């Protein structure tokens, strides 16, 4: 279970990014976070990842307080952020503890690479990978430690529509396999609805949770299905009201 | 018609040349191209000396220079001088690279050290390194120590600057990946900062090698009894221009050779770079 209580972030320059965020996510749920730009979506994710310290509030994962980055959390950023000097296998193995034997690390990385459909490219350098392949590699790097919580910050936003759809499918397949809790930030409403068990709408400045919408539409889902379209419409209306409130 | 068209294409539009025909002419000769001008000049020079257009005493022709070098080689003196110079360059350069890299790694990772030391290092850099010679002689005498330290000092600055700026320009986002995986400062340095800074570091090392060669001359001009720099002084004292020219030639030869060695060694290390004309 992921428990967020009273989470707030104020920057040194006085900018208030988030205030009073409360959210409880049962284990294994797929949560998407949407909201107008500047509402603190990315800040929320960075706080969960432990990359920034909250000004107030707590984040607990499995009953334990999170302070700073944790081995139980995998992070995929908007950009692949691969080390350009390492081949794919070494990039994916990057986060594995050096205490694990080298051969075991290589085997774990190879398995993660196969899971994201990149088998055969273990020796490729990042400059030889396409954008979609590089983002898959980043996903493999986050998955290789088998995290209980997977955080994704607009992971597909730089890819074309077709590729985005394909990677969404693969993400769902991987999620179904070992069921980590997922928090995915997106500005794409379709993506939010297609993926999520729960959609969290952030809004306002400083940002806070405006709505939490459960999504019971059966999987697999498609954009044109009535349930999906209805939810999309509802979220659009919610976002609209957030936008008005902000201006 | 087709031929005519092709020729038009190549000449007017600068289209890629037909590979089969020009590759043989361009590729293997690329190293030879660089030799055309020196060889032509040497021939002209030889001719000018033979015709008496120039004073042989002041500007002896290449054949005389070669003969002089050969003579030095036979007597075993040349290898002694070469060994002395190469030894000094090697030791001083290695020392400069080691200290420069260590200093940059420290100021690049520990912010307090950077704020504390970097301004001083930048200020010291403004002193032309030759200006240290009198002080070094005063402190360390006139034997090997001051020479090697001077060369090391020359190599230090480019290496330090190269690595320091390289570390500072490593993508913050990559460093953040290190934080996600909870790497300590040393692991961040070894696994992210140093590899990321490698291209800039190598550029600095190459500059350091160039300065090491420059400073070995400065060091050997001041009170040395062997080395290529000593040959220069000796040639001047004995009015033997051929010895001076021979030493200059050897400086050019070995300076270029060590540089080429370094470049070819570093090319493989930065093959991952996705840069315009990477590897040239």
> What ipTM describes this predicted complex?
0.92
CA distance B179 to chain A (A): 7
Phi–psi pair at A83, nearest 5 degrees: -75, 115
Q: How many CB atoms lie within 10 A of CB B58?
A: 8
Please tell me the predicted confidence (pLDDT) of residue B277. Answer: 52
Q: What is the pLDDT of residues A145-164, one digit of tens each?
A: 999 999 999 999 989 999 99
Instruction: Read off the pLDDT band of B24 (50, 70, 90).
Output: very low
Contact residues on chain B for A127, CB-CB shorter than 8 A = 272-274
Enter the tokens of residue A210: 């405006």
Give the number of A-B residue pairs with CB atoms closer than 8 Å: 49
Calpha distance B263→B268 (Å, rounded): 9
**Is residue A24 scored above 50 in pLDDT?**
yes
Of B248, B154, B276, B137, nearest in space to B210 by CA: B154
Q: Does the beta-carbon distance from B272 to A71 stay under 8 Å? A: no
Enter the tokens of residue B235: 């040639």
Please tell me the predicted confidence (pLDDT) of residue A35. Answer: 92
Mutant choice from B177, B183, B192, B277 vs A, greatest count of A C-beta within 10 A? B177
Please tell me the predicted confidence (pLDDT) of residue B272. Answer: 87
Using CB atoms, which residue from A51, A83, A125 is nearest to B176?
A: A51
Q: Does the beta-carbon distance from A81 to B173 stay under 8 Å? A: yes
Please tell me the predicted confidence (pLDDT) of residue B93. Answer: 97
Q: What is the pLDDT of residues A215-235, one digit of tens each?
A: 998 888 988 899 899 999 999
Calpha distance B69→B77 (Å, rounded): 10
Mutant choice from A85, A90, A137, A154 vs B, greatest count of B C-beta within 10 A? A85
Q: Does the beta-carbon distance from B182 to A85 stay under 8 Å? A: no
Partnered with residue A73 across adjacent β-strands are: A149
Give the mean pLDDT of A125-147.
Answer: 95
Q: Which residue did the predictor score with more confidence, B15 or B199?
A: B199
Q: Does the beta-carbon distance from B180 to A51 stay under 8 Å? A: yes
Q: Does the beta-carbon distance from B272 to A68 stay under 8 Å? A: no
Exposure letters B64-83 (e unless 16+ CB within 10 A, then b) = bbbebbeebeeeeebeebbe
Q: Does the beta-carbon distance from A84 to B182 stay under 8 Å? A: no
Q: Does the beta-carbon distance from B174 to A83 stay under 8 Å? A: yes
Give the helix/strand (H/E) hosting A18: strand A16-25
Handedness of CA A41, A42, A45, A46 (dihedral sign): negative
Calpha distance B255→B245 (Å, rounded): 15
Q: Does the beta-carbon distance from B272 to A75 stay under 8 Å? A: no
Query: What is the value of pTM for the model shown?
Result: 0.84
Structural Rg of chain B based on CA atoms = 25
Q: Does the beta-carbon distance from B180 to A75 stay under 8 Å? A: yes
Q: Does the beta-carbon distance from A85 to B174 stay under 8 Å? A: no
**Is residue A104 scored above 90 in pLDDT?**
yes
**Is residue A49 scored above 80 in pLDDT?**
yes
Helices of type H across A70-187: 88-92, 102-115, 131-143, 161-178
Mean pLDDT of chain B: 85
The strand pair at A208-214 and A198-203 is best described as antiparallel
> Domains in chain B, ordered, with CATH?
61-269 (1.10.3720.10)
Using CB atoms, which residue from A51, A94, A127 is nearest to B272?
A: A127
Give the mean pLDDT of B224-247.
Answer: 90
- With an 8 Å Cβ cutoff, the interface of chain A facing chain B consists of 49, 51, 68-71, 73, 75, 77, 79, 81, 83-86, 94-95, 125-127
Closest residue in B to A46 (Cα) is B180
Give the mean pLDDT of B139-146.
Answer: 86
Please tell me the predicted confidence (pLDDT) of residue B92. Answer: 96
Instruction: Read off the pLDDT band of B14 (50, 70, 90).
Output: very low
Please tell me the predicted confidence (pLDDT) of residue B224. Answer: 79
Q: Which residue did the predictor score with more confidence, B214 or B6?
A: B214
Give the mean pLDDT of B29-53.
Answer: 86
What proportions of chain A, in percent to the nearest 5, are helix, strand and coil? 40, 25, 40
Q: What is the pLDDT of residues B76-131, one digit of tens each?
A: 989 999 999 999 999 999 999 999 999 999 998 888 999 999 999 989 988 887 78
Q: Which residue did the predictor score with more confidence, B272 or A73?
A: A73
Please tell me the predicted confidence (pLDDT) of residue B12. Answer: 37
Closest residue in A to B192 (Cα) is A83
**Is residue B45 scored above 70 in pLDDT?**
yes
Calpha distance B199→A34 (Å, rounded): 40
Please tell me the predicted confidence (pLDDT) of residue B267. Answer: 87
Which residue's entry shows tokens 């068990």? A197
**Is residue A211 scored above 70 in pLDDT?**
yes
**Is residue A22 scored above 50 in pLDDT?**
yes
Residue B197 · residue B166 · CB < 8 Å: yes
Please tell me the predicted confidence (pLDDT) of residue B25. Answer: 46
Which residue's entry shows tokens 């690595």? B163
Percent of chain B at pLDDT above 70? 87
Question: CA torsion B118→B120→B123→B129, rounded to 10°?
Answer: -100
Q: What is the pLDDT of residues B183-228, one digit of tens each?
A: 999 999 999 999 999 999 999 999 999 999 999 988 888 777 899 9
Instruction: Read off the pLDDT band of B276 (50, 70, 90).
Output: low
**Is residue A142 scored above 80 in pLDDT?**
yes
Percent of chain B at pLDDT above 90? 55
Partnered with residue A153 across adjacent β-strands are: A185
CA distance A153 to chain B (A): 13
Please tell me the predicted confidence (pLDDT) of residue A240. Answer: 83
- With an 8 Å Cβ cutoff, the interface of chain B facing chain A consists of 171, 173-174, 176-177, 179-182, 191-192, 195-196, 198, 272-274
Please tell me the predicted confidence (pLDDT) of residue A194. Answer: 95
Give the mean pLDDT of B147-173.
Answer: 94
């Amino acid at each position: 279970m992921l428990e967020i209580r009273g989470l707030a972030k104020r920057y040194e320059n006085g900018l208030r990014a988030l205030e009073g965020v409360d959210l409880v996510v049962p284990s294994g749920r797929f949560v998407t976070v949407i909201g107008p730009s500047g509402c603190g979506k990315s800040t929320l994710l960075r706080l969960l990842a432990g990359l920034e310290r909250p000004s107030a509030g707590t984040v607990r994962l499995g009953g334990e307080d999170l302070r700073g980055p944790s081995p139980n959390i995998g992070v995929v950023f908007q950009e692949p952020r691969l080390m350009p000097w390492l081949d794919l296998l070494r990039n994916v193995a990057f986060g594995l503890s050096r205490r694990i034997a080298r051969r075991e690390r290589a085997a774990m990385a190879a398995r993660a690479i196969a899971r994201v459909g990149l088998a055969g490219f273990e020796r490729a350098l990042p400059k030889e990978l396409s954008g979609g392949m590089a983002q898959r590699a980043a996903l493999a790097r986050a998955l290789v430690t088998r995290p209980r919580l997977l955080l994704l910050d607009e992971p597909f936003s730089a890819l074309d529509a077709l590729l985005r759809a394909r990677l969404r499918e693969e993400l769902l397949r991987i999620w179904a396999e070992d069921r980590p809790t997922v928090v995915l930030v997106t500005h794409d409403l379709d993506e939010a609805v297609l993926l999520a068990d729960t959609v969290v709408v952030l809004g306002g400045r400083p940002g806070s949770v405006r709505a939490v919408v459960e999504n019971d539409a059966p999987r697999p889902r498609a954009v044109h299905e009535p349930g999906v379209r209805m939810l999309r419409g509802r979220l659009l209306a919610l976002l609209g009201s957030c936008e008005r409130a902000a201006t | 018609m087709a031929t005519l068209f092709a020729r038009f294409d190549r000449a007017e539009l600068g289209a890629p040349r037909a590979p089969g025909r020009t590759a043989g002419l361009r590729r293997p000769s690329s190293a030879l191209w660089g030799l055309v001008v020196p060889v032509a000049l040497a021939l002209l020079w030889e001719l000018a000396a033979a015709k008496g257009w120039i004073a042989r005493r002041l500007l002896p022709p290449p054949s005389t220079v070669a003969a002089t070098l050969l003579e030095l080689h036979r007597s075993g003196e040349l290898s002694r001088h070469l060994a002395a110079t190469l030894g000094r360059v090697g030791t001083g350069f290695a020392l400069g690279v080691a200290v420069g890299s260590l200093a940059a790694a420290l100021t690049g990772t520990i912010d307090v050290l950077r704020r504390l030391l970097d301004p001083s290092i930048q200020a010291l850099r403004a002193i032309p390194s030759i200006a240290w010679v009198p002080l070094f002689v005063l402190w360390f005498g006139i034997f090997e120590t001051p020479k090697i330290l001077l060369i090391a000092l020359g190599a230090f600055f480019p290496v330090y600057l190269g690595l320091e700026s390289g570390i500072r320009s490593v993508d913050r986002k990559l460093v953040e990946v290190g934080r996600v995986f909870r790497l300590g400062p040393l692991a961040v340095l070894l696994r992210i900062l140093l590899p990321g800074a490698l291209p800039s570091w190598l550029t600095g090392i190459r500059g350091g090698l160039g300065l090491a060669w420059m400073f070995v001359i400065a060091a050997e001009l001041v009170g040395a009894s062997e080395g290529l720099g000593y040959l220069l002084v000796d040639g001047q004292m004995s009015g033997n221009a051929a010895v001076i020219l021979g030493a200059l030639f050897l400086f050019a030869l070995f300076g270029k050779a060590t540089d080429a060695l370094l470049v070819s060694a570093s090319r493989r290390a930065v093959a991952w770079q996705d840069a315009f004309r990477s590897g040239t």
